Chains A and B, each alone.
Chain A
Amino acid sequence: MTVARRAWLVPAVLTGTLVPFGVLAYRAATSRLGPNPVATALNQLGLLALTLLVASLLATPARLLTGAKWPLKLRKLLGLAAFFAALLHLAVYVVLDQGLDFGGLARDVVSRPFIAAGFAAVLAMTPLALTSTRRALQLLGPRRWQALHRLAYVAGVLGVVHYVLRVKAFPTEPALYGAVLGASFAVRAVLGRHARSS
């Protein structure tokens, strides 16, 4: 009986991905989220969602750059984890931050580009999470499935926009996420076209 060479990869990344969620849950349960726990949880979950989403979008450029196949194995896991973090982020915002004030929420989504961008990012990720199974891929057919999953780029851009619009001054952090995302698009544009034409 032989084991695939990187059989540990997906379980390892899954385990690692659970760590920040676990740390956050532990801190929340033991009142260690600082003087403004709602804001801390909101910020950490938002950053986690964005980091995971950007990481999932790095799989294809990593494959194009190195030729290795293993990054693609992580794409689904990272994408689903990003969606999970984004849903928790949204839940903390709706329930704990806004106290289920749906009138105020509706006003915010309509009138504030920052909220609208975040909301749209979650909406864009939803069909991707729902069609992440092998069965959905078969039902849709690879071409339609792939076209649909280009929404992940849209979600990534919306996530960065949401982050940039949130900050007060202009710290480097949101710019870094934007730069990483931009670089990944550039690699895709250059090498992806090259790979298709050759």
Chain B
Amino acid sequence: MVGRRLPPEPKGAEITPPALYARRREFLKQAGGFLATSAGWGAGLTWLSERGAADPAPVAKRLSPSPPPPGSASPWSSLVVSPESLPKAEATPFDAVTTYNNFYEFGLSKSAPARAAGSLKTTPWSVRIEGEVKQPRTIDLEDLLRWFPLEERVYRMRCVEAWSMVIPWVGFPLAALLSRVEPTSNARYVAFTTLYDPEQFPGQKSDVLEWPYVEGLRLDEAMHPLTLLAVGLYGNPLLGQNGAPLRLVVPWKYGFKGCKSIVSIALTRERPKTTWAAAAPSEYGFLANVNPAVDHPRWSQRTERRIGQLERIETLPFNGYADAVAHLYRGMDLTREF
């Protein structure tokens, strides 16, 4: 159309030669290919290699010990330090205790429980006492906390995976509860069951183990004064990743015996079918006493890495509690009954 003035034609010398123009496009293509490929491959490889490995600290930042419940009526204000305790100075740091956990109900990695534990609702909470007891009943956690004075007990915790911690638990002896509910003369074992609720425990949607998690003890082990029902650690209520609100602690046995988030305590005549022993009977026994002389079929149990220390340390028979518990197993061949 008329009336529109075109800009002047560029002079010949100003026009980019076609070869150079093509090279620029070529350069951009190459640079783009390089950047996209190196970034994509680098990110993918990093992601793949970090899956499954316990991932690092950012988790810890979101955690802090929740303040102790207010009011003088709180059972927490009158913690008795048990004579069974190790010195508290030896305890593994709170951040490690609360971010490095095996709790497959929340996922398989060590950091998954700390990340996922928010989905667990621990109030209200009640525990069924059932089986061979004179009065089967369901007890609210609050009542349990009123019944028994809480103690602080600093115990070694030895995982079957050859690492260990020292944890200042808060709880009461299981024996106190069992005596109160009165087992019948038929009771020979105690079975503990973790809450089954895949909405709260997303790990239960995968069938990596048979759910719900069940652990068990012989009655004499359950009545032993070292056996603890824990409701807290480091002076505060348990966090989800540590098995809130109620868990078992048996310090001379491998950590997997310590059933978490317990909803049922049943006294039985027969030995309960416990989760790991059922999943891999050649690797995990019912007793599961810490024993440096009996290796896991796939790895050595002679030494352990105490979380927070670089050097491995020797694993002690019965995790250092032999004087208190070895008599329970007198006459048994512990290489066969492991």
Measured CB to CB, the residues of A under 8 A from B are 3, 6-9, 11-13, 15-20, 23-24, 27, 31-36, 38-40, 43-45, 47-48, 51-52, 96-99, 104, 107-108, 112-114, 165-166, 168-171, 173
With the chains together, A17 CA to B42 CA distance in Å?
6
- Interface contact B208-A27, CB-CB below 8 Å: no
- Interface contact B33-A43, CB-CB below 8 Å: no
> Using Cβ atoms and an 8 Å threshold, which residues of chain B touch A35?
54, 92-93, 95-96, 99-100, 110, 307-308
- From 38 to 97 in chain B, residues with beta carbon under 8 angstroms from any chain A beta carbon are 38-46, 48-57, 92-93, 95-96
Interface residues on B, range: 35 or more
- Interface contact B305-A40, CB-CB below 8 Å: no
Binary A-proximity of B26-38 (CB < 8 A = 1, otherwise 0)? 1000110111111
Query: Known pairs A35-B95, A44-B50. 17 more at Cβ < 8 A?
Result: A11-B38, A12-B34, A13-B38, A16-B37, A16-B39, A16-B44, A31-B57, A34-B111, A35-B100, A40-B55, A51-B45, A104-B300, A108-B300, A113-B298, A169-B108, A169-B279, A173-B51
Task: State whether the Cβ of B169 lies closer than 8 Å to any Cβ in chain A.
Answer: no
> Using Cβ atoms and an 8 Å threshold, which residues of chain A touch B54?
34-36, 39-40, 43
- Interface contact B45-A17, CB-CB below 8 Å: yes
- Indicate whether A16 sits within 8 Å of B41 (C-beta atoms), given known contacts A32-B57, A34-B99, A114-B298: yes
Please indicate which of the listed interface residues B52, B163, B311 has the most CB atoms of chain A within 10 Å of its own CB: B52
- Indicate whether A19 sits within 8 Å of B298 (C-beta atoms), given known contacts A8-B33, A168-B161: no
> Using Cβ atoms and an 8 Å threshold, which residues of chain A touch B92?
35
Measured CB to CB, the residues of B under 8 A from A are 26, 30-31, 33-46, 48-57, 92-93, 95-96, 99-100, 104, 108, 110-111, 161, 163, 208-209, 279, 298-300, 302, 305, 307-308, 310-312
- Interface contact A39-B163, CB-CB below 8 Å: yes
- Indicate whether A34 sits within 8 Å of B33 (C-beta atoms), given known contacts A16-B38, A165-B298: no
- Interface contact B42-A38, CB-CB below 8 Å: no
> Using Cβ atoms and an 8 Å threshold, which residues of chain A touch B26?
3
With the chains together, A8 CA to B33 CA distance in Å?
7
- Interface contact B57-A51, CB-CB below 8 Å: no
- Interface contact B208-A16, CB-CB below 8 Å: no
- Indicate whether A15 sits within 8 Å of B42 (C-beta atoms), given known contacts A27-B56, A34-B99, A169-B108: yes
Residues of A contacting B: mostly? helix
Closest Cβ of chain A to B277, distance in Å, is 13
> Using Cβ atoms and an 8 Å threshold, which residues of chain A touch B39?
16
With the chains together, A24 CA to B45 CA distance in Å?
12
With the chains together, A98 CA to B108 CA distance in Å?
25
Closest Cβ of chain B to A23, distance in Å, is 5
Closest Cβ of chain A to B223, distance in Å, is 30
> Using Cβ atoms and an 8 Å threshold, which residues of chain A touch B55?
34, 40
> Using Cβ atoms and an 8 Å threshold, which residues of chain B touch A45?
49
- Interface contact A99-B312, CB-CB below 8 Å: yes
Cβ-closest 8 pairs across A and B: A19-B42, A16-B41, A16-B42, A35-B96, A43-B53, A12-B37, A8-B34, A15-B38
